[in-house]
Structure formats: C-alpha cells, structure tokens
Amino acid sequence: MTVFVEAKDVPTNLKQPLSNLLLSLADDEFILGYWDSEWTGVAPTLEEDVACSSIAQDEIGHARIFYQEVTALTGTPIDQLAYGRELPDYRQAQLVERHRGDWAFTIARQFLYETADLLRMESLSTSSYQPVAQAVAKIRREEVYHMMHVDIWFERLAQGTPTARQRLERALESLWPDALGLFEQFPDEDMLLQNGILTTSNAQLQQAWLASIAPDFARLHLAFPASPSSHSDVPGDVQYLPLITPRLGGRYGQHTQDFRVLWEQMTMVYRLDPQASW
C-alpha cells in the first residue's frame, strides 16, 4: 500500500477527492464550532459557559488543521477556504449546521457527533495520507475531554428532571435523520478507499457507530431508530437497520436554511473586502 508522505506525493487524480474529504472534515468542525461558540456569554451556568467555549475553540482549532492541509494541496489560504466559498461549496454534514437550539439540543447533537467522530478519527489514524494520520493523532487526544464532557451531560439530562428528559427526547427525535447523514458516502469514496486514504467505508463506520451507542440508548431507555438484525450466514454479526430516512446532501453541497443564515453572519465582515487583511 502506497503511503503519501506529503501533499506533493498525491497524484493529480486523487487531489480533488482528497481535498473534498479534508474540506468535509474541516467544515464539520468549523460549523459545529460556530454554533458551540454561540453559547459564549449565555450558557446556563457560568462554569458551563467557560467549558463550552473551550470545546468550541478546540473544534475551530481542529478545523484549522484540516483547512491547512487543504492549503498544502491546493494553495488556497485557510481564511479564503473558511470564509470565501459560496454556499454549495461547503461540505459539512447537515447535522452540524442546525441552529444550536436549547441546551438539550446542543448536548444531543454533541453526543451524536462526538461518538461518530470518535470512530471516524480512529479509522483515519491509519490513513495512507500521513499528514491526515498525524493531524488525527493530535485531535484524538483533545477529543478525550469533549467525550468526557458530553457523556456527563447526556446522562444528566436523560436521568434528570422530567423537563430535562423531555427536552432531550425531543432534541434527539429532531436530530436523528441528520445524524444518519453523518455517514453519507463521500464523493469518490471508492477511490479514497482503494488508495488507503480512507481505511473504512462510511457504511461500515455507520454500523460500528450504531453498535457503539445502542447500549447507551438502551440503558437510558431512549428511543433508538435502528433495529438490530442478525445475518444468517455470519453468526453473531449484527447489522443495524435504520428505521427512519436519513437526511443527506451535506457532502454534495446541499444545505439548509439554518446554514444560509449562519453563512450570512459568518461572512459579513469578510465580504466587506475579501482582499483585506484583518
């Protein structure tokens, strides 16, 4: 298996697929970080305000690393990547672009995203593209804190007051279709898999993810919109079949009204003069 040590080792036919992959990873973190940073100053407690802000900064920092890898491949500067694209050129999953909602919505989304990202980062840690493998090694260390934080809150809301529980359930119901869209197939995914840049397909990752969180949902008596069914020819192999329709399109530039609103705000100052230094 070829190992790509740096950007210039990547053959021309792989550049676009790799760049799109990196943009997806970057955009996921950047847009998630956008909404998480919106809690700064208005979180339910001052202590959570500070904690949430650290997590948001981490996410933006992770996005920055991935944007820097795109710059290495394409030459486009990171701020132009982050702020200078038109709406259909962004590649985040629609899960992360939904407005932050109330605290339950933020925690529910965080739980779904972090548990999924845990598996995605693990699978990328052995990518044949070395810069990604190295970036991911650092990111995984920082995600330990995020996972701890969201685990604590997910439990507390699920086992909290009736109001907390209800809000969590409502949030999850609203988010599940988007969560299933986290593992939408990437453009040119087959090519990326063949070259080892991706080590696991999205379909496989989704199965691993559903299997990893099903026990939590069962334990907390929360609705889980996927039912396990065993393969008859492979004893013990459980496949999770989603019972709801996933909302797809993010990886192909299809986005929601929430993202349109976000993009207007986010690029407001940048668009005053995209050539200017700020």
Chain contacts with another protein (rule: CB under 8 A):
34, 37-38, 40-51, 53-54, 56-58, 60-65, 67, 78-79, 82-83, 102-103, 138-139, 141-142, 144-145, 148-149, 152, 156-157, 159-161, 163-165, 167, 220-221, 265-266, 268-270, 272-273, 276-278
Considering beta carbons, is residue 160 or 246 the nearer one to another protein? 160
Query: Longest C-alpha distance within the chain, in Å?
Result: 62
Sign of CA dihedral 65, 114, 93, 53: negative
Considering beta carbons, is residue 10 or 82 the nearer one to another protein? 82
In this structure, are residues 123 and 201 in contact, taking their beta carbons and an 8 Å threshold? no
Closest approach, Cβ 107 to another protein, in A, equals 10
In this structure, are residues 229 and 61 in contact, taking their beta carbons and an 8 Å threshold? no
Considering beta carbons, is residue 148 or 238 the nearer one to another protein? 148
Q: What is the DSSP letter of 278?
A: -
Closest approach, Cβ 37 to another protein, in A, equals 5
Closest approach, Cβ 151 to another protein, in A, equals 10
Closest approach, Cβ 224 to another protein, in A, equals 14
User: Residues 99-119, buried b or exposed e (16+ Cβ, 10 A)?
Assistant: ebbebbbbbbbbbbbbbbbbb
Considering beta carbons, is residue 39 or 209 the nearer one to another protein? 39
Considering beta carbons, is residue 222 or 248 the nearer one to another protein? 222
Q: What are the start-end ranges of the E strands in the chain?
A: 226-230, 238-242
Q: Region of 193 please: left (phi>0), alpha (psi -120 to 50) or beta.
A: alpha
Structure tokens at 186: 């990437």
Considering beta carbons, is residue 137 or 238 the nearer one to another protein? 137
In this structure, are residues 256 and 94 in contact, taking their beta carbons and an 8 Å threshold? yes
CA angle, 154 then 156 then 161, to 5°: 125
Q: How far apart are CA 25 and CA 197, in angstroms?
A: 13
Closest approach, Cβ 104 to another protein, in A, equals 8
Main-chain phi, psi angles of 229, to 5 degrees: -140, 135
Considering beta carbons, is residue 1 or 272 the nearer one to another protein? 272
Closest approach, Cβ 78 to another protein, in A, equals 6
Closest approach, Cβ 149 to another protein, in A, equals 6
